[in-house]
Amino acid sequence: MHRLAAFDEKTRAIIYSDVQKMRKSRKYDVDQDFSETSDENSEAEMLKLMDLQRKISKKFQNHQANQNIASQVLKELSEKNQYEDNYQNYREDDENQDSLSLSSQILPKLQLFIKYLFVIFVFPWLFSTITRYFLDNVS
């Protein structure tokens, strides 16, 4: 299994399960060194081994392609989330600016209204009250 160290865990599990299936089928011994066999079946066994190697490399390539697709999808999702966060922040800033501009428009008008109220109602009342006081006390 030391040759499988270059593969990730999922691929190693796939390879290991394929080897176990072959051992169970007893068609040939996986641990046997094929280069030193002198059987007439050694060529067929080599073809089986090459077929197994091709299947393993195909599964590994499929696994890598799936990982690439998954990483691309995650990247697109993160970009979309970043865009949505930026848009939400922009909307919140825009709403805060609207509320600030609204208060900055209303406050001066309210102050002016209060000044007019004082000029129209409070000052005449105060003047008349003071005048009555002095007139009542002088006479």
Packing angle, helices 9-25 and 42-117, rounded to 10: 150
Query: How many Å separate Cα 19 from the centre of its chain?
Result: 39
- By residue count, the chain amounts to 139
Q: In sequence order, what are the residues at sequence separation of 6 or more whose Cβ sits closer than 8 angstroms to the Cβ of residue 23?
A: 29, 30
For residue 88, give the amino acid letter: Q
Supply the pLDDT for residue 120. Answer: 92
Specify the pTM.
0.35
* Extents of the domains making up the chain: 2-138
Each of the 139 residues of the chain gets a pLDDT tens digit; together they read: 455 555 677 777 787 787 777 777 755 554 555 444 455 567 778 788 888 888 888 888 888 888 888 888 889 998 988 888 888 888 887 777 766 676 777 888 899 999 999 889 988 999 999 999 988 888 6
Q: In sequence order, what are the residues at sequence separation of 6 or more whose Cβ sits closer than 8 angstroms to the Cβ of residue 8?
A: 63
Supply the pLDDT for residue 1. Answer: 46
Identify the CA nearest to 26 among candidates 11, 47, 10, 48: 48
